[in-house]
Structure 1
């Protein structure tokens, strides 16, 4: 997640610039400057600083909804990549000659498929020149 989104999310979570700055390990003035720049780039404030605890403006609510969607997408991406890394899902394409496909791979691929049933196997057959 982008730094400005992390900052805004932490302020929302902590309901305080100073508590958010502490949690983010930055100074409160640095956090305030970063959020001021973000708000200037958006053209409107995200936080109502007149309330205690701090609250979101209507624009802030929309921004935070987007942050939450972004966080969910990032988490989904991490899960999908972990599934591929752990061979829980994905696709493997193997290209080889007729002899290897017919005589060697059936036993190997059967064992592989039992161990990793969610991994899709594509088997191509051809000469080494055609596979390049």
Structure 2
């Protein structure tokens, strides 16, 4: 069906038999005959020759859409086969948010370089909403995020689970009556073992200022839903792009922030904040690894992914 797709596609691109023929280095009559043969074989007319410039018929639109999908599949297949046979190996690229690119990936890459110094690994710091496109267009090999990407396009694997907790500037007087609920560093490293009785009543903070991530971020939505569960709409002082920046602002005493437990674990010597456990299903989420369904990895890359999945954070 697609034996002559290059010829059909050139006519579509140039909207002219004569210009397409020049591009293909064939005579116009030869090109016209090829297109006519394809149309006869299919039993449909692909181009409206009466229009100027030439336009696709409805059947032609369907055929061109199919050709573009075939072309994309051929491109991906070629790239993947080249990757398998390329003795030099391409760079394996990870993508994720600022937190993963600054706090997680570097340690993993450093340790893995001792295992396989030949595999070169790159990091791309992007917003969560960009991961889909970076993977889809082969700008990155593996992405990390808490969002749910399209399961028809991507394979996913839960990497680890995390919990959101409340970080409150220690200077805020609201803490004075809540010290019995404040989490110790040991509590934060073992949140599953902290009893529900130690969860703070979030409604007590309804008149305080909060620092939120911008709309469209998973943590923004979860934090908002948690507040709604406790019957109030938060007073949002600042909207931020990055969670790490929000955390730093909270440490300066400017507002309350919902934070991932792992950021606090990596900041064990900080004494400017108090932390509280939250009683909500929205406070628990999984961090996932994503890659394209038709992605082919080399043996070296497979070994790294296996190491990544088992890495103890």
TM-score by length of 1: 0.68
Q: CA RMSD in A?
A: 2.2
Displacement of 1:9 after TM fit?
0.2
Provide the C-alpha distance between the structure 1 equivalents of 2:17 and 2:302, rounded to a whole number of angstroms: 47
Provide the C-alpha distance between the structure 2 equivalents of 1:23 and 1:3, rounded to a whole number of angstroms: 18
Provide the C-alpha distance between the structure 2 equivalents of 1:26 and 1:3, rounded to a whole number of angstroms: 16
Provide the C-alpha distance between the structure 2 equivalents of 1:18 and 1:67, rounded to a whole number of angstroms: 21
Matched, 1:118 2:286: no
Distance 1:88 1:58, change over 3 A: same
Bigger RCO (CA 8 Å, 6+ sep)? 2
Provide the C-alpha distance between the structure 1 equivalents of 2:3 and 2:31, rounded to a whole number of angstroms: 11
The equivalent of 1:35 in structure 2 is 35
2:116 is paired with a residue whose SS is helix
Q: Summarize the alignment of residues 65-104 of structure 1 with structure 2, pairs less than 5 Å apart.
A: 65-86=65-86, 87-88=89-90
Displacement of 1:112 after TM fit?
7.9
- Cα distance per residue 1:64-93 (max 9 Å; x no partner): 00000001001101111121122349xxxx
Provide the C-alpha distance between the structure 2 equivalents of 1:118 and 1:71, rounded to a whole number of angstroms: 26
Aligned length in residues: 100
TM-score by length of 2: 0.30
Matched, 1:20 2:20: yes
Displacement of 1:113 after TM fit?
2.8
| Structure (1 or 2) with the greater strand fraction | 2
2:117 is paired with a residue whose SS is helix
Provide the C-alpha distance between the structure 2 equivalents of 1:112 and 1:83, rounded to a whole number of angstroms: 21
Displacement of 1:4 after TM fit?
1.1
Unaligned runs of 5+ in 1: 90-109, 122-132
| Structure (1 or 2) with the greater helix fraction | 1
